[in-house]
Amino acid sequence: MPSSVSREAQSMLAVGIIGGSPEGADGSGQAQGAANTLIMELLGHVPEGVEVDETEMEGVRTFVATPRGLDPGDPHVYLDIHGGALVGGGGDMCRMTAMRMADRFGLPVYAPDYGLPPERPYPAGLDDCIAVYRGLLESHRAKEIVVGGGSAGGNIASSLLLRARDEGLPLPAAAVLLSPEVDLTESGDTFQTMYGIDNVGGGRSLMEANLLYANGHDLTHPYLSPLFGDFTEGFPPTLLMSGTRDFFLSNTVRLHRALRVAGVYAELHVLEACPHGGFMVDTPEERELDRDIRRFIRERLASG
């Protein structure tokens, strides 16, 4: 148990592996069920002081979570793409994730309940998220929008930005990618070194779920593994977060370097002893990170 983190963080780490053993799930309904169970454990409590509505945007069910007390004239919004190993996290979990992000970042959050395999594999989920982004552009300037996502949501958020650029859509003011799953080939170092160490699922491979989501498409395509995209053609300023126990740490640091090499403004925040997705409970480390994210969002929205 590291003494370098807060007592609250140590308590979370002492719980051990959350969401199953390192052996993982198969590429069927078991993978989806495991992902749903894991997300429920991650979300913990539903924040107070956030109102949530359900609407339809461009044919996609979308949850809109709004912190109480916001200036109704403030046009800024956050498009959040939920996580869930690309096979889970929808429905009520999407709703709760939207509320949590609205509470964390102090912005109205639009959260598409995008299609999931096996019924709707790639590119259905990405199509849904692009459609919601297009819908937001009808009522907001691009520079009034922040796009974000955690874990698998970081994959689809990054893919959304690459595809939006390729389709000639204006890019948002910023991107916030929290422990993003941006390499479905799992080629990075920490896919090996964090096995059995990351508290969230034991750092197990998610390849079965990746293949189920990809539905036969090439895993190296930038819309599936955005790490392999060409960022010199454009990408918004980006904040990336990971931890020293996160099996997606390689994803995050490699994407940070790729953005920097391409001349894109990018911040990298790596939390000590933090597993995939954060500490999940209220810790000084999480509060400090949230302050940094809020600062980053304010700065990028102000520059737009």
Number of domains present in the structure of the chain = 1
Instruction: Give the pTM.
Output: 0.93
Q: Which of 51, 47, 53, 45 is nearest to 68 (CA)?
A: 51
Query: Could you tell me if residue 2 is inside a domain?
Result: no
The pLDDT, as a whole number, for residue 281 is: 83
Domain of residue 211, residue span: 7-303
Using alpha carbons only, give the angle 18, 23, 27 rounded to the nearest 5 degrees: 100
**Residue 1: inside a domain, yes or no?**
no
pLDDT for residue 17 = 84
The answer to whether 207 and 186 have CB atoms below 8 angstroms apart is yes
pLDDT reported for residue 18:
80
Cα 131 from Cα 16, distance rounded (Å) = 39
Amino acid 68 reads R
Please tell me the predicted confidence (pLDDT) of residue 260.
Answer: 98
Instruction: Residue 44: name the closest of 265, 295, 297, 280 by CA.
Output: 280
In a domain, 261, yes or no: yes
CA nearest neighbour of 89 among 132, 150, 36, 43: 36
- Give the DSSP letter of residue 68: T
Q: State which residues of the chain have pLDDT below 50.
A: 21-28, 32
* Token reading at 83: 């996580």
Read off the CATH number of the domain in which 206 is found.
3.40.50.1820
